[in-house]
Amino acid sequence: MSDRRKFIKNLGAASILTTVPLSQVSANKPSNIKEKKVIGAGLIGVRNMGWGDLNSFLKNEGTQCIALCDIDSVLLEKRANEIEDRTGKRPKTFNDHRKFLAVKGLDAVFIGTPDHWHCIQMTDACAAGKDIYVEKPIANSIFEADLMVKAARKYNRVVQVGQWQRSDPHWNSAFEYLDTGALGKIRQVKAWANVNYGRGFKVAPDTNPPVGVDYNRWLGPAPKRPFNKNRFHGSFRYFWDYAGGLMTDWGVHMLDMVLKGMNATAPKSVAAIGGKMAFPNNAAETPDTLTTIYDFGDFSFVWEQFIGMGTSPYLEESGEPGVAFIGENGILAINRASWEVLPLEYDGKYLTEVLPRRKSRFSGLDAHTKNFFECIKNRKDPNCTIEMGRNAALVAHLGNIAYRTGKKLEWDEIEGLISNTTEANGYLKPDYRAPWKLWED
């Protein structure tokens, strides 16, 4: 017990103050946000999903992009040109997110950077009085995720996490069915990501960074390493320094839907088996094959991932990740394309009503960014709060920690610790590379 208390004390001693003090960044809350006719938005990390998030948000009347921030100056200029061509107004551009946060009129910040940057940028944005849309997983560790919850609540910010299925009418219609109780007791939930990509990820030599890329800033708090194309852009997800593989990529989306459907927050225990079983000699560190089993007390949950497979149990869409709620009377299976009920049969009769297959007809992302826009105005909690983001990240990271330690873990949600092994607790909190430090509540 004394060791556990010492560990908790050490965790609580962390602080985030970077080379530019936050006192030099405007910490004023947006004035009269409810009455503002135009919400000024900005994006940190202008490639891929962050760019998609921002453009989805800008579909809402009364929004304007006023600032962009990225470590790739070539891409940054390209994105600024695209905004200017479309709107007639050129956003300001920055390499340093702290200078970006000081832009006058910036109300909403989108964070689309690699996972290992999320905590610093989100907590800095909270301290600067901004509302935030942060991509999933909200952080690359459980400790960082907990800090982000504290920062959002301390500074009273609206924070929408990019787990956009919580705003999608398609998923919500499936949960409305689940809530009717027609399936009876849900005894087990399964989720999967049997994606069709990941082959041919060959080991590559270290090189110089691409022209225009500030690689040292891209690394940020992560350990210093030579530049390697495999660790950059989207494939950063397969290296522990920056992310958690398929588990914290697709997994977080599906795990979040499990938590929503079962009204759950944290497991009691978790165990995992897997490894680099299909592609042992490729460049990735994270597993290509993984089965993780969680005990939530009144139901069990099984997560499965297979890279380079392209199959989908229960539903016909090949390679589409999904979730299945297995009840006494039937199975509800859902993915982004469709949902359907697979009724069980007993004594020649179906135990629940046969329903036609339902297909998605909406943009869940557009619904999610619209909800964020509305919550900036009305100051209500959005559809995916920072706590929901933390819970999904918690489940994903615990699965990865169980895999990396090779042990069954028992989670103490009250203490915020793995209670049965000191070794595993070493994975809860990252060691930041100087001069970056963890935020202090």
Report the candidate in 202, 203, 241 with the shortest Cα–Cα distance to residue 221.
241
* CATH code of the domain containing 259: 3.30.360.10
> Is the domain of 378 the same as that of 348?
no
> Is the domain of 378 the same as that of 415?
no
> Is the domain of 218 the same as that of 264?
yes
Give me the half-sphere count of Cα atoms (radius 13 Å) on the Cβ side of residue 122: 37
* CATH code of the domain containing 26: 3.40.50.720
> Is the domain of 162 the same as that of 176?
no
> Is the domain of 338 the same as that of 263?
yes
> Is the domain of 176 the same as that of 249?
yes
Quote the domain boundaries for residue 339. 169-360+398-420
pLDDT: which is higher, 80 or 355: 80
> Is the domain of 16 the same as that of 134?
yes
Query: Are 238 and 374 in contact, with CB atoms under 8 Å apart?
Result: no
- Residue 36's pLDDT is 76
- Residue 32's pLDDT is 53
Q: 45-78 burial by CB neighbour count: b if 16+ within 10 A, else e?
A: bbbeebbbbbbbbbebeebbbbbbbbbbeebbee
> Is the domain of 176 the same as that of 159?
no
What tokens does 287 get?
Answer: 């597993």
> Is the domain of 198 the same as that of 110?
no
pLDDT tens, 375-394?
999 999 999 999 999 999 99
Kindly state the average pLDDT of the residues 340-366: 93
pLDDT for 8 beyond 90: no
pLDDT: which is higher, 410 or 318: 410
Q: pLDDT-derived band of residue 272, with 50, 70 and 90 as boundaries?
A: very high
> Is the domain of 301 the same as that of 344?
yes
pLDDT tens, 404-428?
999 999 999 999 999 999 999 999 9
> Is the domain of 188 the same as that of 333?
yes
Q: In the chain, how many domains are there?
A: 2
In a domain, 46, yes or no: yes
> Is the domain of 229 the same as that of 184?
yes
In a domain, 433, yes or no: no
